Amino acid sequence: MKTKRSIEKATEFINNKLEKNPKIALILGSGLGQLSKDIKKQINIRYGDIPDFPISTAPGHAGHLTIGELEGKQVIVMNGRFHLYEGYDLESIAFPIRILKKLGVKILILTNAAGGINRTFNPGDLMVITDHLNMTGWNPLIGPNDESLGPRFPDMGKLYNPDLINHLNNIASSLNIPLKQGIYAWMTGPSFETPAEIDMIRIMHGDAVGMSTVPEAITAHHCGIKVVGISCISNMAAGVLDQSITEEEVFEIAKHVYSDFSALIRRFLKELFPKKTGEY
């Protein structure tokens, strides 16, 4: 069990390696990890060196933290996340998010590779997440609640922060990057979804589907971190097109969309905080 003491130990270990504490965190999805190479004055910490921290086993997830400066902002990047399909429980998936909170993170940018369900989408599109569908029946807040982390029954009405979504839309418009809007559906994986499952999610107004992001978003919102999410539509989901879905396709599309993704994130960070208030 990831106890309060486990969170404190891991936070202390990371804190001892930092000169400045980051206010912004990014979790980079499949094929998007190269953004961390652009971070200046970077410190890298392997997940395996952090007390009680999980280890990434998913393909394309490097398994280390990168802390430093990107577009004038102090950031911490998770190069690799954790999934139910790897055999991790939700407590382990929530653990890094709670450490980010203890480190002083105020804003979490979640990214992922997702299958497109909305028939107006195409592989290579970027989609800002406006809401989600939890199709798993699981929630990272199940179990005893620590009131120091967040309330027993958190409201989820504005989980994906409207101000940050507006900011992202404005940045995309200024860069002439088409940015879709949509609802992300979370499935456990590791098998891709069936055509019948995709039809079900479409009926429920889901626009994209993937195997991550939702438990991290719920955990972050629970502990007071503002959340914004971006999906890279790496393929069309089962039944949308008459073709097979492969892991290789996911990574190939992520390479093609990386230029727009990087430009969007960098400008988003550069212009993040309004001058008058200094924060959202």
Q: Where in the sequence numbering do the catalytic residues fall?
A: 30, 61, 83, 85-86, 113, 211-212, 235, 256
Give the SS3 label for residue 230: strand
Pairing relation of β-strands 24-28 and 107-116? parallel
Residues facing residue 181 across a β-bridge? 128
Which residue in 254, 229, 247 sits closest to 124, CA to CA?
A: 254
The H or E element containing residue 156 is none
Residue 117: phi and psi, rounded to 5, are -110, -40
Structure tokens at 112: 């992922």
Q: How many CA atoms lie within 13 A of 112 on its CB side?
A: 26
